[in-house]
Amino acid sequence: MRDRVGKSLRLEEWARRDSFLHRRDARVKVVSVLLFLVAVSSTPPSSPAAFLPMSVLLAFGLLVSGLPVFALLARACVIVPFPLFFGFVSWMENGNAQFAGALVARSYVSALSVLLLVGVTPLPALFGGMRGLGVPAVLVMVLQSLVRYLRVIVDHGSRMRRAALCRDAGVLPRRNRQSLWRRASGAMAVLFGRSYARAEGVHRAMVARGFRGDFVSARPTRITTPDWWYLAVTGLAVLGARYLALVGQ
Amino acid sequence: MSVPAIDVRGLRYTYPDGTPALRGVDFQLAAGESVALLGANGSGKTTFLLHMAGLLRGDGEVRIGGVTLEEETLSAIRRSVGYVFQDSDDQLFMPTVLEDVAFGPLHRGVDGVESIRRARETLATLGISHLEDRAPYHLSAGEKKRASLAGVLVMNPDVLIFDEPTTFLDPPGQNELARLLMELPQAKLIATHDVYFARKVSGRAVFFAAGRIAGDGPVEVIADRFHWRLS
C-alpha cells in the first residue's frame, strides 16, 4: 500500500518536470489525447498489430516527455486484467486469439496515453484545462474530489496497514483465511469511516479559506503558437496513424 | 469602547446524532487579545471554534468584529477569521506549498499574480520560502504547521483560531510556534491541552466543561482551579 502511495505521488512529481510536452497548454494536451483515444477506439480490433502505428506515436511521446519509460509502461499494466478477462472470454467463444490480443492492446495503448497526459500535466492545470474546454464545473469538481479522496483513502490505508503489521497481521496461519477476510472487511469499513471524517476535515479547511465549490487556478494560461503547432502536428500524426492502421487491415 | 473581536451569547449546539456539544456559551474576545481554551477532550472546545468560522451553525448569537454571523455575512466573516486546524494534513491539500498558501487569496477574488506574490511574501515572513515548491506531504510536522499558518496569515485575518496547534510538534517546534504567535498582532483563540504553551502565548484562559465555560481568568489561576497540570 505504501508503495502504491509512493507511485501515485511520483506521478504528480513527474508532472512538475520540464519538457516540451510539460510546457504545452493543458487544453491542447487534453484535445490531442482525446483525438488519440478516438483514433484508437475507432480502430477495429482485428489484430494487435492494428495498434502498432498508434504505439509508435505514443512511444515518440514518451521519449519526448523525458519520463521514466519503463515505470510508465509498468503502471499502464494496471488496466490489463480487465481486457484480458474479456479477451479470454471472447477467445473461448470464438477461438480468435488475434481479436483477444487486440482488445488488450487497445486498452493498454489507451491507458498509456492517459498516463502520459497525467505525467506531463500537473493535476490543477489538467482540471483547469478541462474547465477551459467547457467540461461542466460539477464534473471537474467531482474528479478533483475523487483524486483528493483517493489520496486520503490510500494514506489512511497505509497507516492502518502499518498499525496492523505492528500487531498481529502476518503471523496468522494461512489456513485461517476466513478470519483474515472478516478482519479485512472490518478494516475496510473503518478505513472508509475514517476517510470520510478526513474528507470532511479537508472540506472544512477549504471552506474556511474561501472555497465555494470551484477551484481557481493561480496561473491562468494562454495557448501559445508552439501549442497550436503541437496540436496541429499531433492531430496530423494521429490521423496518419489511424490511416496506417486502416491500410494495414 | 472598541468592538470586541468575538462576542458570543448563549451559543448552543447539538450534533445530528443528538450529542449536545455546547450548552449556552457566553464569551468575549477583545481586539488583539489572546485567549487559551482549556478543557478535556469532548468538552466542546473544537465545536466552539468551528462556530467562530461559521463552519458549524448553532443557536445563539455570534458576532465577529461587530458583524453578526448569518448566511449573508458568512463570506465576510470567513474573510476576517483565519482557522488553523489541528491536523495540518487536513489543511494542506494543494500539490505544492506555494499553491496551498495562495489558495485563500485566489478563492477570495485576488488575481493569480498577486496571490502568488502575497503567498511568497508570507512564506518569507515565516522563514519557509525554501519550501514553496515542496509537496506538503513531504514536510515535517513543524514545517506543515508553519505552512498551514502561512495559508491563513496570507489572508490577513483579524482573528486567528488555533485548534491544538502543538499537536505533532517537538519542543523546539512548540517554542518556535509560540514565538511566532506572540509576534502576531491579531486576536487569537487557542485551544490546547498544554498549560505551558497556553501560558506562553496568552494571559487569559477559559475552561470548557461539558459544553459550558466553567471558568475564565488568568491561565495560572484557571490551571490551578481545575487541576489542569501534570502531577
Least confident interval from A75-84, A146-155, B19-28, B83-92: A146-155
% of chain A residues with pLDDT over 90? 29
Mean pLDDT of A226-249: 88
Mean pLDDT of A11-37: 90
- Residue A207 sits at the vertex; the CA angle it makes with A121 and A10, to the nearest 5 degrees, is 25
Contact status, residue B161 vs residue B81, Cβ threshold 8 Å: yes
Query: How distant, in Å, are the alpha carbons of A153, A162, B53 from that of A2?
Result: 12, 9, 35
Whole-number pLDDT of residue A101: 87
Query: Which of A16, A202, A217 is facing B90, going by the closest CB pair?
Result: A202
Q: Which amino acid is at B114?
A: E
B231 lies in some domain: no
- What is the tens place of the pLDDT at every residue in B152-177? 999 999 999 999 999 888 888 889 88
Q: Does any CB of chain A come closer than 8 Å to the CB of residue B87? A: yes
Whole-number pLDDT of residue A5: 46
Q: For residue B133, list chain A residues with Cβ-Cβ distance below 8 A.
A: 16
Q: For residue A13, list chain B residues with Cβ-Cβ distance below 8 A.
A: 135
CA distance A133 to A128: 9
Whole-number pLDDT of residue B23: 96
The total of other beta-carbon atoms located within 10 Å of residue A91's CB is 16
Q: Which residues contact B115 (CB under 8 A, 6 or more apart)?
A: A218, B102, B105, B106
Note the ipTM here: 0.77
Residue A2 has pLDDT above 60, yes or no: no
Residue B26 has pLDDT above 50, yes or no: yes
Instruction: Report CA B216 to chain centroid distance, whole Å.
Output: 19
Q: In chain A, which residue's Cα lies nearest the Cα of B55?
A: A204
- What is the tens place of the pLDDT at every residue in B179-194? 989 999 999 999 999 9
Q: For residue B75, list chain A residues with Cβ-Cβ distance below 8 A.
A: 210
DSSP state for residue A158 in the 8-state scheme: H
CA of A46 vs chain B CAs: smallest distance (Å): 42
With an 8 Å Cβ cutoff, are A210 and B95 in contact? no
Least confident interval from A118-122, A185-189, B178-182, B198-202: A185-189
More confident residue, A3 or B222: B222
For chain B, what is the domain count? 1
Instruction: With CA atoms as reference, report the closest residue to B56 among B23, B26, B95, B13.
Output: B13
With an 8 Å Cβ cutoff, are B95 and A124 in contact? yes
Instruction: With CA atoms as reference, report the closest residue to B57 among B18, B30, B22.
Output: B22
B1 lies in some domain: no
Q: In chain B, which residue's Cα lies nearest the Cα of A17?
A: B133
DSSP state for residue A120 in the 8-state scheme: T
Buried b (16+ CB within 10 A) or exposed e, A191-227: beebbeebbebbbbbbbbbbbeeebbbbeebeeeeeb
Least confident interval from A58-72, B8-22, B95-109: B95-109
Residue A22 has pLDDT above 70, yes or no: yes
Query: Which of A12, A124, A201 is facing B87, going by the closest CB pair?
Result: A201
Query: Which of A9, A148, A209 is facing B104, going by the closest CB pair?
Result: A209
Question: What count of CB pairs under 8 Å joins A to B?
Answer: 75
Q: Residue A34, by phi and psi: left (phi above 0), alpha (psi -120 to 50) or beta?
A: alpha
Tell me the β-bridge partners of A219. none
Residue A12 has pLDDT above 80, yes or no: no
Tell me the β-bridge partners of B204. B35, B218
Tell me the β-bridge partners of B188. B34, B160
Best B103, B108, B149, B160 residue to mutate vs chain A (most A CBs within 10 Å): B103
Range of the domain at B202: 6-225
The backbone torsions φ and ψ at residue A44, rounded to the nearest 5 degrees and listed phi first, read: -60, 135
Q: For residue A195, list chain B residues with Cβ-Cβ distance below 8 A.
A: none
For β-strands B20-29 and B34-39, DSSP reports them as unpaired
- Please identify which residue in the block is written with the cell numbers 518536470: A17
Least confident interval from A173-187, B139-153, B177-191: A173-187
CATH for B110: 3.40.50.300
Query: Which of B53, B106, B137 is facing A208, going by the closest CB pair?
Result: B53
CA of A217 vs chain B CAs: smallest distance (Å): 7
Whole-number pLDDT of residue A7: 53
CA distance B48 to B70: 16
- Residue B61 sits at the vertex; the CA angle it makes with A209 and B34, to the nearest 5 degrees, is 60
Q: In chain A, which residue's Cα lies nearest the Cα of B107?
A: A210
With an 8 Å Cβ cutoff, are B50 and A198 in contact? no
Instruction: Report CA A188 to chain centroid distance, whole Å.
Output: 23
More confident residue, B182 or A142: B182
Q: In chain B, which residue's Cα lies nearest the Cα of A218?
A: B112
Contact status, residue A106 vs residue A45, Cβ threshold 8 Å: yes
Q: Mean pLDDT across chain B, nearest whole number?
A: 91
Mean pLDDT of A104-117: 93
Per-residue 3-state assignment (H helix, E strand, C coil) for B115-170: HHHHHHHHHHHCCCHHHCCCCHHHCCHHHHHHHHHHHHHCCCCCEEEEECCCCCCC
Per-residue cell: B201: 502565548
Residue B1 has pLDDT above 70, yes or no: no
The model carries a pTM of: 0.71
Confidence band (pLDDT; 50, 70, 90) for A179?
A: low
Mean pLDDT of B197-219: 95
Contact status, residue B190 vs residue B162, Cβ threshold 8 Å: yes
B230 lies in some domain: no
Least confident interval from A38-52, A140-154, A195-209, B102-116: A140-154
CA distance B220 to B227: 10
Handedness of CA B98, B104, B106, B107 (dihedral sign): positive
Contact status, residue B151 vs residue A209, Cβ threshold 8 Å: yes
Domain map (residue ranges) of chain A:
2-133+219-248, 137-208
Q: Whats the size of chain B, residue-wise?
A: 231
Q: Residue A163, by phi and psi: left (phi above 0), alpha (psi -120 to 50) or beta?
A: alpha
Q: In chain B, which residue's Cα lies nearest the Cα of A156?
A: B89
CA distance A117 to A135: 17
Query: Which of A9, A205, A219 is facing B93, going by the closest CB pair?
Result: A205
Q: Which residues contact B67 (CB under 8 A, 6 or more apart)?
A: B73, B76, B77, B80
Confidence band (pLDDT; 50, 70, 90) for A175?
A: low
Residue A152 has pLDDT above 80, yes or no: no
